[in-house]
């Protein structure tokens, strides 16, 4: 049996996650799905995302969770503060985080995935 080399991370009620899962299924790409709310999240995971992708990219600044932060919180954001906030509020992590063959990718765009998976 072939080992699954693709994992997506997100929250199940996210429209982008739904589109991503639908695209992967339609293209018969086997993946595992990690839901921050039901499967959990820890500092090691968030730190790895930040190290691989950059904290400025991992923080979803277009979402309602980020917009609800105080101006002070937004102004004082740095890598350490971002990691703590993302642990506290996983909905603020840009979705999906996709790990494919140990490479980290962020977001979902069909053209990006076509290239990534050679579809």
Model pTM?
Answer: 0.92
Please give the chain's pLDDT, 119 residues, in tens: 456 699 999 999 999 999 999 999 999 999 999 999 999 999 999 999 999 999 999 999 999 999 999 999 999 999 999 999 999 999 999 999 999 999 999 999 999 999 999 98
The residues annotated with a catalytic role in the active site are 14
Characterise 52 by phi-psi region: left (phi > 0), alpha (psi -120 to 50), beta (else): alpha
Closest CA to 49 of 32, 65, 34, 31: 34
Question: For the domain 6-117, what is the CATH superfamily, name and number?
Answer: Glutaredoxin (3.40.30.10)
């Amino acid at each position: 049996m072939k080992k699954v080399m693709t994992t997506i991370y997100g929250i199940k009620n996210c429209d982008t996650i739904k589109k991503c899962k639908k695209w992967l299924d339609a293209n018969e790409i086997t993946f595992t799905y990690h839901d921050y709310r039901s499967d959990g999240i820890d500092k090691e995971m968030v730190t790895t995302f930040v190290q691989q992708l950059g904290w400025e990219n991992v923080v979803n600044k277009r979402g309602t969770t980020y917009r609800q932060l105080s101006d002070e919180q937004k102004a004082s954001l740095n890598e350490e503060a971002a990691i703590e906030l993302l642990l506290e509020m996983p909905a603020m992590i840009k979705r999906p985080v996709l790990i494919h063959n140990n490479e980290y990718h962020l977001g979902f765009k069909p053209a990006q995935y076509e290239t990534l998976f050679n579809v």
